[in-house]
Structure 1
């Protein structure tokens, strides 16, 4: 396993400086935010793309993932991370999310990243049944999964509390109906903990479909608020032992977007807590 850090904690820094800082702290990779101010795909010109590649090469970093979940560039008054969603009742507004995802897949392929992560359907709208929302989400995902396959990358869905797919088990129904090898699961450990999931059990169960992990700590209340690993109550020793037990040897990305005031301190503390757990593999 290798540890990466998400640039969504560095929204007050240009990408090049974020990459410099993440590498200096000691991470091997980073998750690129396909959003302002780092890499909003709809307006990303060749010059900024070259700058992104140069910063990665200069720092010896690799892409763990491209985060296409957040859409701060749209600045929806309801919630800039969740909206517009894949299940918006308004077809035109829904199209904004779909087109953004296609562009993020294109960017992912162009930069040589392995996959993008995106939201699990968005909030169910008033008057919309859960089954209607699931059907719409599946309809939207099928051509996006085809586009991912055509581009040689993966499209990963990230269950999240409050959205259509809240648990890792709920991902299974959608994955089965889409039926594409280009679709995968982004297993967010904190989100699963918020939903009361048995982490070692679910990590083992979903291992055949999991292509990437997000980690952050959560308070004992299980309220969805990302904390630095070691400051909440998640047993990360147990979590990493379970991940290691599946044979997974890919990226684990630390996602601490609430810590924009001092992302360096958050990133450093997380690495201090998690690096011994990742390194434990070589000691077995």
Structure 2
């Protein structure tokens, strides 16, 4: 397993300090959120700043997935606004441009994927209209991703138009079933516990052909609140065994964006928890077999 930690849970640290901390703790990568705290996608000199981050990652032996879930990166007054579903085509285009920029950053970082989400359906907007807007908006992003050789990993997000694994497959249909190597999933294990009909380990198996990025944290059924490990209801060893058995090679990133005030402590506790949760699978030979070793 390749564990990472989301930089949106380390916003009280400078990015270089955050990367140093994670490398020292034994993480293998980061979920790098593009935002003003760490790598601002809208400030001047993005290419030079991205090269600095690439060198910092390489020096520490870390890899990355680029995440685009910053709350106010485009609109200082509206959380996650504008979205790909905004009624105003010019505002939708702002989000499209951000995602295309994220694709270029990901290519420059040799990142695993670019994460994104649909957004909440605006008031007085039919489902059919919302799905059409989403498909139309993602078209140029997928073109950029194909050119850059970086897959797009869409996250089902509670409360959004695309909130479930079933919704992801509707998007694939709307887009004409793109290659899974180009359009895939960010699977958030907590979200599976929150709202999917299947248990999280079964969600992993169902999502396996499309997995490009995994986020992980604890959560309770029906409550969308990212919790430190042990504070929710998830049984993690079966989830990690399922991930290993699929042959997933990307990052499994701890996602605690509301706990930055305790980021170093939680990063330390999280890697210890995950290593312990992996241990039963290693004893059973599941992970060794999935990694090409001898059970």
- TM alignment of 1:138-157, pairs within 5 A: 138-157=135-154
The match for 1:109 is 107
What CA deviation, in whole Å up to 9, does each residue of 1:199-240 have, x standing for no partner? 222221221111121101113x53111111222111111211
- The range that moved more, 102-111 or 201-210, is 201-210
Aligned with 2:137: secondary structure? Answer: helix
TM-score by length of 2: 0.89
The match for 1:163 is 160
Deviation at 1:189, TM superposition (A): 0.8
Deviation at 1:282, TM superposition (A): 4.5
The match for 1:55 is 56
The match for 2:288 is none
- Note the residue ranges of structure 1 that are not aligned, 5 or more in a row: none
- Note the residue ranges of structure 2 that are not aligned, 5 or more in a row: 286-295
- The range that moved more, 2-11 or 175-184, is 175-184
Task: Measure, in 1, the Cα distance between the counterparts of 2:278 and 2:9.
Answer: 22
- Contact kept, 8 Å, 1:30 with 1:62, in 2: the verdict is yes
TM-score by length of 1: 0.92
- Contact kept, 8 Å, 1:146 with 1:180, in 2: the verdict is no
- TM alignment of 1:1-284, pairs within 5 A: 1-43=1-43, 45=45, 46-63=47-64, 65-79=65-79, 82-119=80-117, 121-178=118-175, 179-181=177-179, 182-198=182-198, 199-219=200-220, 222-278=222-278, 282-283=282-283, 284=285
What CA deviation, in whole Å up to 9, does each residue of 1:52-75 have, x standing for no partner? 123212322122x10012243234
What's the Cα RMSD here? 1.7
What CA deviation, in whole Å up to 9, does each residue of 1:108-147 have, x standing for no partner? 001111211011x211111101111011101111221111
* Distance change (3 Å), C-alpha of 1:108 and 1:91: same
Task: Measure, in 2, the Cα distance between the counterparts of 1:211 and 1:265.
Answer: 28
